[in-house]
Amino acid sequence: MRINAVAFVPSAPLLVPAVAGGSAALDDDLRSAAVDVTRRLHESDEIIVAAPTDHAGEWGSEATWSFAGFGVPRRPSPAGAVLPWSLGIGAWLLEASGWSGPRRYLGIGAEPWSTPAATAGNVGLLVVGDGSSRRTEKAPGHLDDRAAGFDASIARALAGGDPVALGRIDPELATDLMCAGAPVWRWLAAALGDDRPTTADLLVDDARYGVGYFVAGWRFG
Amino acid sequence: MAIVNATPDSFYDRGRTYGVGAALDRIDQVIAEGAAIVDVGGVKAAPGGDVDETEELRRVLPVVEAARERHPDVVITVDTWRASVADTLCAAGADVINDSWGGTDPDIAAVAARHGAGLVCAHAGWQSPRTRPHRVWYDDVVAHVIDHVVGLAERAVAAGVRPDGIVIDPAHDFGKNSRHTLEVTRRTGDLVATGWPVLMAMSRKDFVGEVLDLPPDDRLEGTLAASAIAAWLGARVFRTHDVAATLRVLAVVSAIAGDADLKLGRRGLA
């Protein structure tokens, strides 16, 4: 698998306007940044969406998103398999960014991870996941004083193009801090092996709802 | 069912009825307004500073003891998830355990049985007490709620809880996002169809706040609208901060349903 670009986006359901409802516009900045960084993957021949899921799995281009389990009415008669919601966010971002090329969806469950089948050409990875959900008193997991430092180290790794640091995320601490992104970032570090990005930039690093949101892009070669 | 918070930090009243004197004043007032049940709780639902069993009892026990003495006929429920706390409070005269975190302490039904107390069987999606829902997914939230609360109710009966003391509560907002809670409310009839009496705890909660984008102080009308719908669909008990307003709404719903007669029958009839 020749990875030529990676885009990092949050796994917040409210990124999808139909989920956010009347408050969607309040997060247009976050949504636009996520769509913009997804669009950078359009130079690739294929895009693989990777997201944390309860069980590992792989889905093809025909799979589609639904947020019915969050109480959002399902789109009229979705064709194909319905993705787990975290991958659905990636699928929605691909659609919002205008991508109509080949794509696959990888649900990153527990270790050991399987490596997706290699394909010819360049692969762009859309990595869906976020930092601690315990950044503030009002956060989904309430405040944990360790969360800010934990997320700061992730932000540094994303800004510095440092997959080794992502691979070193402590899974137990990540679980304590309700960090949804840890498994997928650690998977990414393993998938990249010795590859290092030539450029890296971090577009968003905030915790507006107590969850660490990151938007970042890496380019290789 | 009137909410009596023996807490310094609950989301709406923010300590207004904290302390034995203030709690008893509140109890006197809601009974005067017509409440049939007073629900005393000592731990706020949201996360925050730890309130252990000793502290919970310090807050709630004297209120229950005094309320029992002053109001021998009112139904006193205690809002707690801890079997040990419920045990002490039932011994002090509480009639019903309001286990609003949905059976997280497996011993709570046995406590209710031992005291001949009633039990509220609620659904919080197996979330730990005092945790917020985060990206919770239900293939069918109402089916999940019914499985859970009916399962708890049947287990309670098997443990010896008096069947006429059991009510089920879908627990609005607990383990649910606002759309889940709205769907549960919309399908109140499905809960009623289980045959168990249905309790609705909706007062000034976030699902009303998110429909309207309003803070707790401005959620009364929204709560009353939801209460009217749920009452029309057959819910039987309404846990509320606002007793007089809720009773007026329920009286009108009952009259429309034909379950209650007019208090005045003069218009056009003299």
Cβ distance of B48 and A142 shorter than 8 Å:
yes
- Going by pLDDT thresholds of 50, 70 and 90, the confidence category of residue B169 is very high
Helix, strand, or coil (residue B7): coil
CATH number of the CATH domain containing A205: 3.40.830.10
Burial class (CB in 10 A: 0-12, 13-18, 19+), A182: buried
Residue B222 belongs to what domain range? Answer: 74-255
**Close Cβ partners of B129 (under 8 Å, ≥ 6 residues apart):** B43, B81, B101, B104
pLDDT for A102 equals 96
Which is nearest to B124 in space by CA: B132, B116, B135? B132
SS3 content of chain A, % helix, strand, coil (to 5): 35, 20, 40
B180 within domain boundaries: yes
Q: What DSSP assignment string belongs to B66-125? A: HHHHH-TTSEEEEE-S-HHHHHHHHHTT--EEEETT-S-STTHHHHHHHHT-EEEEE--T
Which has more pLDDT, A120 or B162? B162
Does residue A35 come out as left (phi exceeding 0), alpha (psi in the -120 to 50 range) or beta? Answer: alpha
Mean pLDDT value of segment B246-267: 96
- Going by pLDDT thresholds of 50, 70 and 90, the confidence category of residue A119 is confident
The answer to whether B240 and B223 have CB atoms below 8 angstroms apart is yes
B40 within domain boundaries: no
Neighbours of A30 (CB within 10 A): 20
| CB burial string A144-170: b at 16+ within 10 A, e below | beebbebbeebbebbeebbbebbeebe
Mean pLDDT value of segment A165-194: 96
Q: Which stretches of chain A sit within 8 Å of chain B by CB?
A: 13, 22-23, 68-72, 85, 133, 137, 140-142, 178, 180
Mean pLDDT value of segment B156-174: 98
B37 within domain boundaries: no
Q: How far is B137 from chain A (nearest CA, A)?
A: 5
> How far is the C-alpha of A12 from the C-alpha of A180, rounded, in Å?
10
Helix, strand, or coil (residue B237): strand
Q: What DSSP assignment string belongs to A143-182? A: --TTHHHHHHHHHHHHHHT-HHHHHT--HHHHHHTT-TTH
Answer whether residue B4 shows pLDDT above 70. yes
Task: Please give the interface size between A and B, counted as residue pairs whose CB atoms are below 8 Å apart.
Answer: 39
A-chain residues within 8 Å CB-CB of B133? 140
B-chain residues within 8 Å CB-CB of A69? 137-139
B92 within domain boundaries: yes
Cβ distance of A140 and B132 shorter than 8 Å:
yes
Structurally, chain A folds into a number of domains equal to: 1
Mean pLDDT value of segment B159-169: 98
Helix, strand, or coil (residue A50): strand
Q: Which amino acid is at A26?
A: L
The answer to whether A180 and A52 have CB atoms below 8 angstroms apart is yes
pLDDT for A79 equals 75
CATH number of the CATH domain containing B244: 3.20.20.20
Q: Of residues B130, B239, B263, B266, which has the active-site annotation?
A: B239
Residue A87 belongs to what domain range? Answer: 2-219
Q: If you average pLDDT over every residue of chain B, what do you get?
A: 97
Q: If you average pLDDT over every residue of chain A, what do you get?
A: 94
Mean pLDDT value of segment B150-177: 98
Please name the residue that has the structure tokens 């309130």: B51
pLDDT for A114 equals 73
Structurally, chain B folds into a number of domains equal to: 1
pLDDT tens track for A98-114 = 999 999 999 998 777 77
The answer to whether A86 and A65 have CB atoms below 8 angstroms apart is no
Q: Where are the beta strands (DSSP E) in B90-236?
A: 96-99, 118-122, 166-169, 199-201
Mean pLDDT value of segment A145-157: 98
H or E stretch covering A66: none
The pair of structure tokens assigned to B56 is 């919970």
> How far is the C-alpha of B38 from the C-alpha of B67, rounded, in Å?
9
Give the ipTM of the model, two decimals please: 0.92
pLDDT for A77 equals 64
Answer whether residue A76 shows pLDDT above 80. no
A-chain residues within 8 Å CB-CB of B47? 141-142
- Going by pLDDT thresholds of 50, 70 and 90, the confidence category of residue A116 is confident
Q: How far is B62 from chain A (nearest CA, A)?
A: 30
pLDDT tens track for B23-62 = 999 999 999 999 999 999 999 999 988 999 999 999 999 9
- Going by pLDDT thresholds of 50, 70 and 90, the confidence category of residue A78 is low
> How far is the C-alpha of A204 from the C-alpha of A15, rounded, in Å?
13
B263 catalytic? Reply is no
Mean pLDDT value of segment B86-101: 98
- Going by pLDDT thresholds of 50, 70 and 90, the confidence category of residue B98 is very high
Cα–Cα separations (whole angstroms), residue A176 to A141, A169, A180: 9, 12, 11
Mean pLDDT value of segment B104-116: 97
pLDDT for A5 equals 98
pLDDT tens track for A36-57 = 999 999 999 999 999 999 999 9
**Close Cβ partners of A43 (under 8 Å, ≥ 6 residues apart):** A4, A5, A122, A124
Q: Of residues B44, B187, B205, B219, which has the active-site annotation?
A: B205
Q: How far is A209 from chain B (nearest CA, A)?
A: 11
Mean pLDDT value of segment B248-269: 96
- Going by pLDDT thresholds of 50, 70 and 90, the confidence category of residue A87 is very high
B51 within domain boundaries: no
pLDDT tens track for B186-228 = 999 999 999 999 999 999 999 999 999 999 999 999 999 999 9
Which is nearest to B100 in space by CA: B114, B116, B80, B118? B80
- Going by pLDDT thresholds of 50, 70 and 90, the confidence category of residue A86 is very high
Cα–Cα separations (whole angstroms), residue B249 to B205, B208, B256: 18, 17, 11
Give the total residue count for chain A. Answer: 221
Q: Which stretches of chain B sit within 8 Å of chain A by CB?
A: 47-48, 131-135, 137-139, 141, 177-180, 182-183, 213
